[in-house]
Amino acid sequence: MNRGRLLYAQSGGVTAVINATAGAVIETARKHKVEVLAARNGILGALREELINTSKESRAAVAALRHTPGGAFGSCRYKLKAPEQDRAPYERLIDVFRAHDIRWFLYNGGNDSADTAHKLSKIAAEFDYPLACIGVPKTVDNDLAITDCCPGFGSAAKYTAVSVREAALDVAAMADTSTKVFVYEVMGRHAGWLAAAAGMAGAGTDDAPQLILFPERTFDEAAFLERVKATVARVGWCVVVASEGIHYADGRFVAEAGGTDSFGHSQLGGVAPHLAARVKDVLGFKVHWTVPDYLQRSARHLASATDLAHAQAVGKAAVEYALAGHNAVMPVIVRSSDAPYRWKIAPAPLAKIANTEKTLPKTFLRRDGYGITDTARRYLAPLMRGEAPPPYGTGGLPKYVALKNAAVAKKLPDWRR
């Protein structure tokens, strides 16, 4: 083990398949006889010297990460400032890495994490500390630059399209005497990738979802209500998919609508209940709404096989790049063909990915702005393809693994800010 160790950390919102990446990282490193430590609760664990020795996990437990959602070592929302503003955390990380002989750092997250990994690689170079920093892509938001798609997205996309299709069958069956308008809220504050995925639930303009509200477009309430009315008149009912990030022309987010309830207590926002209330008040239709929230990013039971393969491939490649001497890169997914779907993994510089957000291309939006194009469908279909169900126990629930997460003994003083 004198070659040094590899540290793996998860960052930001978890996904249905981020642990599959973790499993691939550990399995690949084990093949190369490299010991993997994991940071507890993401980069914070590295700063706090709260490290986990993954060598204590059995082969079966590591294999079970493939089908276990959540974040096996914990993740965090914690953005390091630029070293020019606050250099101490970076220096602390180098101290911790040095103390534990960590030569490779794999940071599994989005564009913030890519930025952190990139900066850390520079600081290490300044200190002349031999460290390879590899970003590993992950986000249900699918908003990373360079990569064709992000592990985690395909499964959330599949969950969304399937759930919208199923709920729409319910609405269609009941519309004569009950709910006529159903509003489904999807994640995606700035980018409408999951909203677009919902479009895969139907084919024609009269299939559900008949209206998709993308964060890339300004929300025009009057036009929206007019469309809902026309759809109900034509189809008999209407399913609306709304991104959590839609906003009015003046920039206010619709989700900020939370006010006070009838008991005088504050209400939490939510685009779906707000839109549903507007439809009910203005058009008089019976409405229902759903906010799946975390369910859409943790639904491992409905993961896409393509997404799972991506998640494992980036984990494997990240270790291989690290051991081959790459630094400040991310294994990204490169697509060479839609049908048949062909893809490979290639390294891309973190500098090009850090802090950049990829929104939905204009060519993905139908001209009326309320649906997706065939171009979008060609992009989305392979990402949602294939089933990869977890094993189930006799109680009818999936068998998800809980790791031992054995702590590595600390060697440094506590980290205090």
Subset of 26-55 contacting a copy of itself (CB under 8 A): 41-42, 44
163: tokens are 């759930």
- Closer of 272 and 345 to a copy of itself (Cβ): 272
Q: Is 101 left (phi over 0), alpha (psi -120 to 50) or beta?
A: left
Taking CB under 8 A as the rule, does residue 208 contact a copy of itself?
no
Euclidean distance between CA atoms 234 and 237, whole angstroms: 8
Q: Indicate the pairing of strand 211-213 with strand 102-109.
A: unpaired
Taking CB under 8 A as the rule, does residue 119 contact a copy of itself?
no
Taking CB under 8 A as the rule, does residue 235 contact a copy of itself?
no
Question: Which of the 8 DSSP states describes residue 279?
Answer: I
Taking CB under 8 A as the rule, does residue 10 contact a copy of itself?
yes
Nearest approach, Cβ of residue 275 and a copy of itself (Å): 10
- Closer of 122 and 410 to a copy of itself (Cβ): 410
| 141 known ligand binder | yes
Ranges within 329-348 binding a copy of itself (CB under 8 A)? none
List the catalytic residue out of 141, 143, 207, 220.
Answer: 141
From 380, 355, 36, select the one nearest 195 (Cα to Cα): 380
209: tokens are 């979802």
Nearest approach, Cβ of residue 7 and a copy of itself (Å): 18
Euclidean distance between CA atoms 226 and 195, whole angstroms: 20
How many angstroms separate the Cα of 364 from the Cα of each of 187, 207, 216, 220, 376?
18, 18, 11, 20, 5
27: tokens are 């399995």
Euclidean distance between CA atoms 49 and 56, whole angstroms: 18
Euclidean distance between CA atoms 71 and 300, whole angstroms: 12
- Closer of 369 and 398 to a copy of itself (Cβ): 398
Q: Indicate the pairing of strand 329-337 with strand 342-349.
A: antiparallel
Euclidean distance between CA atoms 120 and 361, whole angstroms: 32
Instruction: Specify whether 250 is catalytic.
Output: no
Ranges within 150-189 binding a copy of itself (CB under 8 A)? 158, 161-163, 165-174, 176-178, 182
Taking CB under 8 A as the rule, does residue 223 contact a copy of itself?
no
| 369 known ligand binder | no
- Closer of 321 and 343 to a copy of itself (Cβ): 343
Stretch that binds a copy of itself, among 211-219, 310-318, 349-357, 382-390 (CB under 8 A): 382-390
Stretch that binds a copy of itself, among 128-136, 309-317, 351-359, 376-384 (CB under 8 A): 376-384
User: Which residues form the catalytic set?
Assistant: 141
Return binding residues for diphosphate: 13
